Amino acid sequence: MSNAPISKDAPKKPFLTDVKTLRQRARQNMSDGLITKTYGGDVDKAIEILQSVLATEIVCVLRYTMHAVTATGISSEGVKAEFADHAREEQAHAMSVAERIDQLGGKPNFNPEGMATRSASQYAEGENLIDMIKENLIAERIAVDHYRELIRYFGDDDPATRVMLEGILVVEEEHATDMHDLLIAHEGTPPLKD
Ligand SMILES: [Fe+2]
Ligand SMILES: [Fe+2]
């Protein structure tokens, strides 16, 4: 790289570390695993947040699975299939989040004890098909709000976690729309009020 002085009037560009420094830093931090001193945020806080996201996803797997198995009534077959699809997608989210916790140097918490307390969404059984759809819609809305906030929280401090959450958010928004459409189809009334 050139050592020529930069004019005060030069446009501001993001600072780029030179290759030699990057290499040196990587060698020095070898024992730190993925997360090195260059991690922008608070790693412990990030892990704590992701433990809650993991619990949220697991509770969603359990709720959708329970609904997929127990839903009954006229034209419940299509709804059961939709619940089962969502359960599989929530399972994939749980895996991604657990992997990320591991990468950050944490131990993903799969302990059933306290799971419902760590989770943002609730495990609600629902008395009938409509109740189930409503409970899932509520849970999806909670997840969407929660993940939007977390995406802003991670920002540029942890782009990898942010991008993972953005991917999950897209699917949660689809889930919310699916549940909303099912509610209209089966209840024929306007959607849930906020
Ligand atoms: Fe999910
Ligand atoms: Fe979802």
Is the Cβ–Cβ distance between 176 and 140 less than 8 Å? yes
Is the Cβ–Cβ distance between 137 and 179 less than 8 Å? yes
Q: How far is the CA of 172 from the centre of ligand 1 (A)?
A: 6
Tell the CATH topology of 39-187: Ferritin (1.20.1260)
Residue ranges of the domains in the chain? Answer: 39-187
d(CA 55, CA 112): 9
The two structure tokens encoding residue 44: 């412990």
Q: Residue-wise pLDDT tens for the chain (194 aa)?
A: 445 555 555 567 778 888 888 777 777 766 666 666 678 889 999 999 999 999 999 999 999 999 999 998 877 889 999 999 999 999 999 999 999 999 999 999 999 999 999 999 889 998 899 999 999 999 999 999 999 999 999 999 999 999 999 999 999 999 999 999 999 988 876 655 65
Closest ligand to Cα 91: 1
Element (H, E) at 93: helix 76-103
Residue 83 is which amino acid? F
Q: How far is the CA of 4 from the centre of ligand 2 (A)?
A: 54
Residue 45 is which amino acid? K
d(CA 121, CA 177): 17
Q: How far is the CA of 173 from the centre of ligand 2 (A)?
A: 7
Residue 125 is which amino acid? E
